[in-house]
Chain A
Amino acid sequence: MFCDAYNKSLTQAAAAERELTPALQQHLFTCESCRTAFAEEQSLFTAIDSSLHTVANPEIPATLIPRIHVALNNMPVSESNLSKWTSTGALIAAALVLFITLNLKDRKFQNSTENVNDQASTQVSVSRSGHSFPPHAESVERVPSRKTSAIHPHTAPVAMTANLPEVLLAPGQRETTERFVQAMRNEQFRDELLAKKGSKEAVLEALAMKPIKIEPLAPVSSTGD
């Protein structure tokens, strides 16, 4: 126990990890009671600091950054710091994604997981330009297909340049698709269309389009190239 006269100053010195003044050092040298009490006080703070260090420096989970990336990618664009869709390319991509997803939903096709990993054969891909896409963008990546040789005879790929989605269209839908792309360049129309994203029928009606038929492609042997 500290002597009354030194209690406060010695307790504070321990808590603040301050160097002792010559007067305090002198007292500790001569007073065993204070010396013992001060040593106990110091070991208390050592224990506190050691536990605090453990509490304050947990290992950062390796999953943290990847899951933030996923959350960012799934973040609705209206919530991102770019409140407006400023890129026409991104708009077209997102609208196509939405459109195709609506169709895919109806078809309820079952997709095997090995197709998901078959990158070379994925004909609908999400933009790599770093834009945020709606949550359903993920499901679009699951459009199953094989190599080009496996393309359904009634379909053909439409490649949007470099980082835009690539989709399969039935022949004869080129004109419709181009009309769609043109329409998406109209800002007012685009906003109206995106507002209808909940309703497939409304989107199709606004575009004067029939649903694009998307079906899983039957695997064929790659020998007949």
Chain B
Amino acid sequence: MQELILIEPGSTAPKLGKTEWTREAEHAAIRSEFEERLADSSGLAFRVARGVLKNDADAEDVAQESLIRAFRKFARLRDRNRFRAWLVRISFRLALDRLRSSKCRELREAEWMREQERSRPANSQASREFQQHLERAMEELPEKLRLALLLSAMEGHSLEEIAVLLSVPVGTVKSRIFFARKQLAEKLRCFVTLTTNR
């Protein structure tokens, strides 16, 4: 005859203390709160990283790493705005680090070129070229300007929200975006002329 043993916590030993169960409940609550936050935050982390890396696979790695780090600090980052601000900073920083790892750079560029071909077959050659110039010009922007510009170009981000994400006044956001656009325009002016003259 088979033997079935059912061990219930507390049946063979003293019952667990109330604090232990409270802590367990808290653990579960933190995890579940974090999971709820994932839906809107993972996209933000991905897009920030993608804006820097120009490559889906790398951006996904960075977004994952950022969110794992966020989870480790989640007890201190439960405030939604604080969490998102922290996530933007860490994703941007990790993406820049990854971009700088010269080892993978060539591979990434090649992959990027292939992705461009794949993802926008309908776009004209001129517009694809312009986008490549724009992405290169963005790489040359100072980091603060670049991040502000990237966030402002993301759907659904008002200036006020960007100010919260970057922990700076709205006026600073406006001026960063202005200078970023101006610098891009200086670098890209000749390409627009070329494109339109074609």
In contact, A89 and B72 (Cβ under 8 angstroms): no
| Complex Cα–Cα for A94 and B67 (A) | 24
Asked whether, in the complex, the Cβ of B13 is within 8 Å of the Cβ of A156, the reply is: no
Give the number of chain A interface residues (Cβ < 8 Å): 64
Interface residue B198 (Cβ < 8 Å from any Cβ of A): no
Chain A: minimal CB distance from B99 (Å): 14
User: Chain B residues with Cβ under 8 A from A130's Cβ?
Assistant: 27-28, 31-32
Contact A129 B4 (CB under 8 A): no
Q: Is B5 an interface residue (CB 8 A)?
A: yes
In this complex, how many residues of chain B approach chain A with their Cβ under 8 Å: the count is 68
Residues of A within 8 A of B54 (CB): 55
Q: Say whether, besides A15-B185, A81-B74, A185-B13, A65 and B38 are in contact (CB < 8 Å).
A: yes
Q: Which of B34, B35, B64 contacts A67 (CB 8 A)?
A: B64
B145: interface (CB < 8 Å):
no
Instruction: Tell me, in angstroms, the Cα distance from A64 to B63 when the chains sit together.
Output: 8
Whole-angstrom distance between the alpha carbons of A94 and B138 in the complex?
48
Q: How far is the CA of A64 from the CA of B64 in the complex (A)?
A: 7
Q: Are the C-beta atoms of B63 and A72 separated by less than 8 Å?
A: no
Asked if residues B43 and A52 are in contact (CB atoms below 8 Å), the reply is no
Given contacts A86-B24, A129-B28, contact A48 B181 (CB under 8 A): yes
B61 nearest CB neighbor, chain A only? A67
Of B9, B64, B150, B155, the residue contacting A88 (CB under 8 A) is B9
**Please, how many angstroms separate the alpha-carbon atoms of A67 and B68 in the complex?**
11
Which residues of the partner chain A approach B34 to less than 8 Å between Cβ atoms? 72
Q: How far is the CA of A223 from the CA of B186 in the complex (A)?
A: 80
Binding site for B on A (CB under 8 A): 11-12, 14-16, 40-41, 43-45, 47-49, 51-58, 60-61, 63-65, 67-69, 71-72, 75, 79-82, 86-90, 92, 129-132, 151, 153, 155-161, 164, 169, 171, 174, 177-178, 181-182, 185
Those 10 A-B pairs whose CB atoms lie nearest each other, nearest first: A56-B153, A86-B23, A87-B24, A52-B153, A156-B3, A156-B2, A51-B134, A60-B43, A51-B131, A15-B182
A-B CB contact pairs (8 Å), 23 listed: A48-B184, A51-B130, A51-B131, A52-B150, A55-B54, A58-B56, A63-B60, A64-B60, A64-B64, A67-B64, A71-B68, A72-B31, A75-B68, A81-B74, A86-B24, A87-B20, A130-B27, A158-B5, A159-B5, A160-B8, A161-B8, A169-B3, A181-B12
